[in-house]
Amino acid sequence: MSNKTYDIMKYTVLTLLPAVLTLWLTLGDIWDLPNVQSIALTISAINLFLGSLVGVSSATHNRKDV
């Protein structure tokens, strides 16, 4: 994985998706939007999956540096 791809994924996992998840849960509750929980769980699952990929990539990269 290139450094640019890693940086984008790391930003997405640590900042973007948690912010979108919080926004969706908040607005969904305020406006009584449909399927709020299902969509929130989907965002959370995607974030967990991407976070795992970032973690594996980081561990692999750090192992090569030693």
* 15-59 tens-digit pLDDT: 999 999 999 999 999 999 999 999 999 999 999 999 999 999 888
Interval 1-16 mean pLDDT:
93
Write down the pLDDT at residue 54.
94
Residues with Cβ within 8 Å of residue 6, at least 6 apart in sequence: 54, 57, 58, 61
Question: Shortest CA distance to 35 belongs to which of 47, 48, 14, 43?
Answer: 43
Rounded CA-CA distance 40/28 in Å is 10
Q: What is the per-residue pLDDT for 65?
A: 60
